[in-house]
Amino acid sequence: MKITKAEFAGSSTRVTQKPARKAPEFAFIGRSNVGKSSLINMLTAHSKLAKTSQTPGKTQLVNHFLINDSWYLVDLPGYGYAKLPDKDRARLRHIIWDYINNSEELVMLMVLIDSRHDMQEVDLRFINELGEKGIPFGLIFTKADKMGTEALQQQLSKNKGRLLEDWEELPPCFVSSSVKGQGKEDILNYIGSILQTL
């Protein structure tokens, strides 16, 4: 699938405030700073569509981007940023789960994991919560350009092995680099294949 048009459609903190026009939504979530906004920019080839930052906690709202006039990419705030005051973390958690629990157009969540690191407790807890609620999700291992090929494969195997301790089978998994454009075709083709089934 090719993205020919991508435009900002609105920010919200409550699902009742999301853009009036309804269309299938694919939302990106993951720990703060994992590269959600950068990946949306890479996939849409718009370097400034979603705001990115070296400082964790940049995205604080649910941001909808209308793609090809027919579906949305949704940039969510990050979870698990330890340095945020408790009340700010609770506020973001509320925004995230209000969207996940109540957005009727949400087709699937893409959970981003930094491919350099072991999956953390906060990632596993989040994924298991999706499982309990029956919310479809895939995984994208980000920042692959920061690893050598062999180390990357080792870390991927380790993380997939950890997932298989809790899950009978793996969800769809992708590897990405927003710097190198890695994963773009695979991720977009996958989203395209899901859109065709709707």
Number of Cβ atoms within 10 Å of the Cβ of 128: 12
Minimum CB distance to Mg ion smaller for 38 or for 159: 38
For residue 166, give both structure tokens. Answer: 């809790």
Q: Does 58 bind ligand GTP (CB under 6 A)?
A: yes
Please identify which residue in 59, 115, 159, 177 interacts with Mg ion, judged by CB under 5 A. 59
Q: Which tokens in the block code for residue 74? A: 């949704």
Q: Could you tell me which stretch among 4-12, 32-40, 121-129, 151-159 binds ligand GTP (CB under 6 A)?
A: 32-40
Select the residue interacting with ligand GTP from 37, 44, 63, 103 (CB under 6 A).
37
Question: Minimum distance from CB of 37 to Mg ion (Å)?
Answer: 3
Cα three-residue angle 123-126-128, rounded to 5 degrees: 105
State the binding partner of 54 from Mg ion, ligand GTP, none, CB within 5 to 8 A by kind: ligand GTP
The bridge status of strand 106-114 relative to strand 71-75 is unpaired
Q: Give the length of the chain.
A: 198
Q: What is the CA radius of gyration of the chain?
A: 16
Note the residues at the interface with ligand GTP (CB under 6 A).
Answer: 30, 32-38, 52-54, 56-59, 77-78, 142-143, 145-146, 177-179
